Amino acid sequence: MEVIIRPDAAAAAQLVTQIIAREVRANPRLVLGLATGRTMESVYRMLVRLHREEGLDFAGCRTFNLDEYVGLGPNDPHSYRYYMGQHLFGQVNLAPQHTHLPDGTAADLAAECARYERAIAAVGGLDLQLLGIGRAGHLGFNEPLSALRSRTRVKALTPVTLAQNAPLFADPARMPRRAITMGVGTILDSRRCLLLATGEEKAAIIAKAVEGPITSMISATSLQLHPRCTVVVDEAAGQRLQETEYYRWIFANEPEWESFR
């Protein structure tokens, strides 16, 4: 794992955007794992700008989102399919048939989860998985006690997650209590992971996820097992990390980061 601390949220999102753009340019058929949440909105805004102003081309890319609420269809403004349409899919040249999210309205949810895993495998697996982090440390909706080898499945949401996401619902009582999410094992199978966290309210969980012991109580700690994971934070989200001097030295000196500095 490598940790990069940027001065503020905009700079952190910009670095994540640059990393994604470089991967898309290097491999026009990139299979991109996508995330939702407030943190990702600025990344999508910057990707749209790169598409419009610099011709960043998504025509050959395939995308797979981490998760979707059970019971919400694509036209429901609270569904993640709707979110993706608003923030990215509707604004870049991704072919609709190349964008994938689990179907939260499927009659047979277990079959839908298995189909989603097969669809990811059919395109050769995920090349780059973009990740946010929930306040309790979940990736996607891998709530506490998610098995570290879990695959796509239905998870019940914890009270912390319900409270965190309820403000996004016009009527919080209508927020689904379950979601389909890629499993921790599905995420760890991607060839590269890229996690973005910004703001002071993520500082405590980032310290645990990056420097704490690996535990299924905090699915983000599983990223310590991943061979190629980059965690990008702003100063606020990085303020509880211990080894910041080391992380800063690497970003300032390692050749891999030269063109991003």
Q: Closest CB to ligand GLP among 178 and 252?
A: 178
Query: Which of 33, 104, 137, 140 touches ligand GLP by CB under 6 A?
Result: 140
39 binds ligand GLP (CB under 6 A): yes
| String marking each residue 153-192 x if it binds ligand GLP according to CB under 6 A | --------x---x---------------------------
152 binds ligand GLP (CB under 6 A): no
- Closest alpha carbon to 104 in 126, 133, 82, 134: 82
Please state, in angstroms and rounded to a whole number, the distance separating the CA atoms of residues 110 and 89: 26
Tell me how far apart the 2 most distant CA atoms of the chain are, in Å: 53
Tokens describing residue 159: 């009270």
85 binds ligand GLP (CB under 6 A): no
Q: Assess contact for 143 and 111: CB atoms under 8 A.
A: no
Which range, of 32-40, 106-114, 147-155, 253-261, touches ligand GLP by CB under 6 A? 32-40
Query: Which of 133, 206, 210, 236 touches ligand GLP by CB under 6 A?
Result: 133
Q: Closest CB to ligand GLP among 36 and 79?
A: 36
67 Cβ contact partners less than 8 Å away, ≥ 6 residues apart: 36, 80, 101, 102, 140, 141, 179, 180, 181, 182
Q: Closest CB to ligand GLP among 35 and 218?
A: 35
Please state, in angstroms and rounded to a whole number, the distance separating the CA atoms of residues 6 and 15: 8
Measured at the CA of 83, the angle between CA 82 and CA 89, to 5 degrees, comes to 80
Query: Which of 102, 104, 132, 238 touches ligand GLP by CB under 6 A?
Result: 132
Indicate the pairing of strand 99-100 with strand 128-131: unpaired
104 binds ligand GLP (CB under 6 A): no
Which range, of 93-101, 132-140, 229-237, 239-247, touches ligand GLP by CB under 6 A? 132-140
C-alpha 159: how far from its chain's center?
A: 21
Q: Closest CB to ligand GLP among 36 and 186?
A: 36
Scanning residues 56 to 75, which ones bind ligand GLP (CB under 6 A)? 66-67
Please state, in angstroms and rounded to a whole number, the distance separating the CA atoms of residues 239 and 71: 38
Scanning residues 192 to 251, which ones bind ligand GLP (CB under 6 A)? none
Query: Which of 34, 35, 218, 233 touches ligand GLP by CB under 6 A?
Result: 35
3 state DSSP class of 40? helix
Phi and psi at residue 197, to the nearest 5°: -140, 135
112 binds ligand GLP (CB under 6 A): no
Which range, of 2-10, 37-45, 97-105, 119-127, touches ligand GLP by CB under 6 A? 37-45
Phi and psi at residue 5, to the nearest 5°: -110, 120
Please state, in angstroms and rounded to a whole number, the distance separating the CA atoms of residues 74 and 153: 19
Instruction: Tell me which residues touch ligand GLP (CB under 6 A).
Output: 35-39, 66-67, 132-134, 140-141, 161, 165
